[in-house]
Amino acid sequence: METRTGPGNATGNVEVPNVIRQPLKKAMKILEEAGLTAGEVVEQRSVLPIGVMIGEVLRQEPKSGTKSLAGSAVKLVVAAKGKFLPPVDRNSVCGSLSDRN
């Protein structure tokens, strides 16, 4: 059961919103408006999927759509500056292999 006493003031259980692919500040605002808080924020410095910008949320826990106690913290994993996965052109890979024969 969810009870709202004003914007961002919920009691009981609230639905966790989807903040994946949102900039961190916007994700934190979305969580606050849903009656939750941003908990631990972890930076991921590994190879990032194409199209993911630095500072965007990659993962969240608990997942969106689940119910959580109002005021609970949502753990966020954020893309940090690191390596990017380049687009792969199969023809160039195959061509470079066949050139060596």
Class for the domain spanning 2-98: alpha beta
Domain layout of the chain by residue ranges: 2-98
Q: For the CA atoms of 23, 70, 40, 30, what is the dihedral angle to 10 degrees?
A: 0
Residue 95 has pLDDT above 50, yes or no: no
- Per-residue pLDDT averaged across 20-42, rounded? 97
* Greatest Cα-to-Cα distance within the chain, rounded to the nearest angstrom: 72
User: Is residue 12's pLDDT more than 80?
Assistant: yes
pLDDT 10s digits, 35-51:
999 999 999 988 877 88
Closest CA to 72 of 41, 40, 35, 18: 35
- Dihedral of CA atoms 44, 47, 52, 54 in degrees, nearest 10, equals 50
Residue 98 has pLDDT above 60, yes or no: no
Q: What's the pLDDT score for residue 9? A: 58
- Dihedral sign computed on CA atoms, order 51, 57, 61, 65: negative
